Each structure stands twice: as structure tokens, then as C-alpha cells.
Amino acid sequence: MTQQEQVSIDTSMGTITFELYYNEAPKTVKNFVELAKRGYYDGVIFHRVISDFMIQGGDPTGTGKGGESIYGKQFEDEITKALKHTGAGILSMANAGKNTNGSQFFITLAPCPWLDGKHTIFGRVSRGMQVVKKIGSVHVNAQDRPIQDIKILKARVE
């Protein structure tokens, strides 16, 4: 894993590329990169979309309750005061509370300051923000699940 590596995800709606924060969240970045290399995210859906908030994926069960890290079930947060959910395009770990990171991640659609200090930020969208916005505007059901599946076709390390 070199500092220059990025991850791109080819989705059913287009490609999103992430700049990763190796210095601020090395363990989280390693998890994301390794899962992408292993094909873990391939075929996985974005199971939660809340307009003007975020899009969430990374759970191979598609329920929002599954997913494991390369370290086992869960691993600890890497919170830094230098990184904040200041706007659209922030890549952050989804969790079920403190130190419960696995494979799920989300991308913000707007500033989300209430998430600062609660979710590990480990990157940002460097290309494909229009795809993120398009995903963020799809029709969803009452549980915020897209009516039509939006899939990660392939995650690649570049």
C-alpha cells in the first residue's frame, strides 16, 4: 500500500474516486483498500440514501447490519480534530457506536457537523461528485432504501 493509492468504485450510476487520508486514519484506509483489493465491495448495494445527508454502502448483506473488517469483526475509531464533516464528498466509516467499524462507509451530501468526533473520516471524493449527487437524489422507501438497487460493480485500487 503506497501513499499514492486511491480507490475508485464503479457503480451502476457512474464512477466515484476517493483521495484517502493515510496519515490521519492509517488503519481505516488500510481496511478500505484491502477490502477493495479482495473484491469485498463488488456487487454490494448502497442500502441507505438520505437526500441532503449521505449515501451509505459497504454491507455485503445489504441490510445495514452486516460487514466485517480485515481485522476481524470490528476495529477502533481513528478520530482526529483536524478532519470534519464540512461538506459534500466526505468519506467516513459507518458504525453502531464507538469503536464498531467494519466494512460500511458513507459519503456526505452536505455539511454534517453533528457527526464530528463520532465517525472516522478517512477520505474524500476526488472525482465523481456528480455521481454521488445523482445517487443522493434517487427515490427511496420509508426505510431510506433505494427503490432500485444501486450497486458497486467493482472497487479498484489505483
- The reply to whether 32 belongs to the active site is no
For 114, phi and psi rounded to 5 degrees? -65, -15
Q: Find the catalytic residue in 18, 20, 35, 56.
A: 56
The C-alpha cell that represents 47 in the structure block = 442500502
- The reply to whether 48 belongs to the active site is yes
Q: Find the catalytic residue in 106, 109, 122, 124.
A: 106
Q: Which residues pair with 16 in a beta bridge?
A: 9
- The reply to whether 38 belongs to the active site is no
- The reply to whether 74 belongs to the active site is no
- The reply to whether 99 belongs to the active site is no
- The reply to whether 95 belongs to the active site is yes
- The reply to whether 56 belongs to the active site is yes
Q: Find the catalytic residue in 47, 85, 119, 124.
A: 119
Q: Find the catalytic residue in 95, 101, 122, 124.
A: 95
Q: Find the catalytic residue in 31, 32, 48, 91.
A: 48
Alpha carbon distance 139, 37 (integer Å)? 31
Q: Find the catalytic residue in 6, 53, 145, 153.
A: 53
Q: Find the catalytic residue in 6, 74, 115, 156.
A: 115
The residues assigned a catalytic role are: 48, 53, 56, 95, 106, 115, 119
